Amino acid sequence: MPTTGGSPASDGMYSQLIDDEANYDEQSHKPDVGRSAHPVSSVKVNPTLSGPGRYRLATICLAALCVILLISIIAVAAHNKNKTPQGSGETAPEIQKQTQDTNVTALMATITKLQQEKKQLQKERDELQNKLAMKTTTKVPEVVRPTSKAAVAPIVCPQNWRLFNNSCYLISTNTLGWSASQSYCQSKGAHLAIILTAEEQTFLWNLLPRGHWNSYWFGITDGQTEDVWKWVDGTQVVGGFWEVGEPNNHINEDCGYIVKTQVLERVAIRSWYDAPCSMSLPFICEKEM
């Protein structure tokens, strides 16, 4: 254990160590760039992690973060700007389509209602025309009344023939062309029916059965002169009971026939059509008594 007195050599060495340590600490924490005689300690400080270098790094990072944030804001704004017109563009046509559908539905309902009213008016008109025709036609009794005291024998029609006024009518079930039908009627002492009044037309039409398109020849043709219709006795047709739009001479249609279908709106006084004379149809014969 050393004594308090110590030797001068030991004291000098101890003092030298203390001075060296003090100089080391002073040089490590307070570097003196003006001294060239004492070199800097081997422990060096990184200039980027202390002093101005550290603040420069923080500034660069903050600037980079601001740039990234600014780019993100611009991208979001551009996306929203592009999306809004697209949405508006899709919504407007959809609203327009719904409005058009509503208008079309209302229009179809109006058309349907008008069609129903039209059918009802046509039915009422046909009923009035039938009543008017029945009233304006003079009824002739089926049995000829005696004009004198002398008795007159009643008219008796052959079997399957029906009496109206002074004629007997046969509704044939055979199907022939128009000329062949006329020949058949002549073989029975008759001819294809000549229909001059609405009452006679209604009488014959009521004898016909209803069907899909039940049609019967009668005694009318324009075979000699187009659009000049004549009866089989050579007299010219006046008026007639044609369907609307008939006769139309669609395909060389020179002979007339009567149609009765299952459509209840079809009436007797609008049932004449023209057709090619070669068609095979049943027919109506008339025998004047």
* pLDDT per residue as tens digits for the range 60-111: 888 888 888 888 788 777 776 665 444 444 566 788 888 888 888 888 888 8
Residue 279: helix, strand or coil by DSSP? coil
pLDDT digits (tens, 9 = 90+) for 130-143: 888 777 654 444 55
CA dihedral 262, 268, 274, 280 (to 10 degrees): 60
**pLDDT in the model for residue 57:** 77
Across the chain, what does the average pLDDT equal? 78
- In the structure, what pLDDT confidence band is assigned to residue 48 with cuts at 50, 70 and 90? very low
229 compared with 13, residue with greater pLDDT: 229
**pLDDT in the model for residue 166:** 93
pTM comes to 0.49
- In the structure, what pLDDT confidence band is assigned to residue 19 with cuts at 50, 70 and 90? low
pLDDT surpasses 50 at 224: yes
pLDDT surpasses 80 at 283: yes
- In the structure, what pLDDT confidence band is assigned to residue 30 with cuts at 50, 70 and 90? very low
51 compared with 223, residue with greater pLDDT: 223
Range 197-211 average pLDDT: 94
| Range with the poorest average pLDDT among 28-32, 194-198, 234-238 | 28-32
**pLDDT in the model for residue 190:** 97
- For residue 204, give the nearest of 87, 131, 95, 283 by alpha carbon: 283
Yes or no: say if 261 and 212 are a contact pair by the CB < 8 Å rule.
yes
Query: What is the Cα–Cα distance from 108 to 85, expressed in whole angstroms?
Result: 35
| Range with the poorest average pLDDT among 47-51, 91-95, 126-130 | 47-51
Residue 282 CB coordination number (10 Å)? 17
Give the residues across from 214 on adjacent strands. Answer: 260
Residue 181: helix, strand or coil by DSSP? helix
**pLDDT in the model for residue 81:** 64
Please measure the distance between the N-terminal and C-terminal CA atoms of the chain and give it in whole angstroms: 181
pLDDT digits (tens, 9 = 90+) for 165-193: 999 999 999 999 999 999 999 999 999 99
**pLDDT in the model for residue 54:** 62
Range 39-45 average pLDDT: 43
164 compared with 44, residue with greater pLDDT: 164
Strand ranges in 59-213 using DSSP code E only, listed in sequence order: 161-164, 167-171, 191-192
Question: Using alpha carbons only, what angle is made at residue 99 by residues 96 and 102, rounded to the nearest 5 degrees?
Answer: 150
Query: What is the Cα–Cα distance from 258 to 178, expressed in whole angstroms?
Result: 13
Strand ranges in the chain using DSSP code E only, listed in sequence order: 161-164, 167-171, 191-192, 214-221, 230-231, 255-260, 272-275, 284-288
**pLDDT in the model for residue 51:** 54
